[in-house]
Amino acid sequence: MKKYLLLLVMFCGLLGCSKSSEVTPASTTSYVSMKINGVLWKSDIGAGAISAGNFSGTGALDATGGKEALSMALINCATVGTVYKFEEANDRVFQFTKLASKVNYFITKDTKGSSGTLTITKTKAVNSLNYANATFAGTAVGSDGSKIVITEGLIVNAQVN
Is residue 36, in this structure, part of any structural domain at all? yes
Is residue 18, in this structure, part of any structural domain at all? no
User: Of residues 45 and 49, which shows the higher confidence score?
Assistant: 49
Measured CA to CA, the distance from residue 60 to residue 46 in angstroms comes to 6
pLDDT in tens, 93-152: 999 998 888 899 999 999 999 999 999 998 888 888 888 999 999 999 999 999 999 999
Domain count, the chain: 1
Phi, psi angle pair for 3, to nearest 5° = -70, -35
Measured CA to CA, the distance from residue 42 to residue 34 in angstroms comes to 6
Alpha-carbon Rg of the chain, whole angstroms? 14
Is residue 19, in this structure, part of any structural domain at all? no
Neighbouring CB atoms inside 10 A of 115's CB total 15
pLDDT in tens, 138-154: 999 999 999 999 999 99
pLDDT at 151: 98
Is residue 20, in this structure, part of any structural domain at all? no
Q: Where in the sequence is the domain holding 96, given as residue range(s)?
A: 2-13+30-160
Is residue 23, in this structure, part of any structural domain at all? no
List Cα–Cα distances, 79 to 43, 118, 119, 147, in angstroms: 25, 11, 8, 29
pLDDT at 125: 86
pLDDT at 45: 82
Region of poorest pLDDT, from 35-49, 51-65, 74-88, 100-114:
51-65
Q: What angle do CA 65, 68, 72 make, to 5 degrees?
A: 135
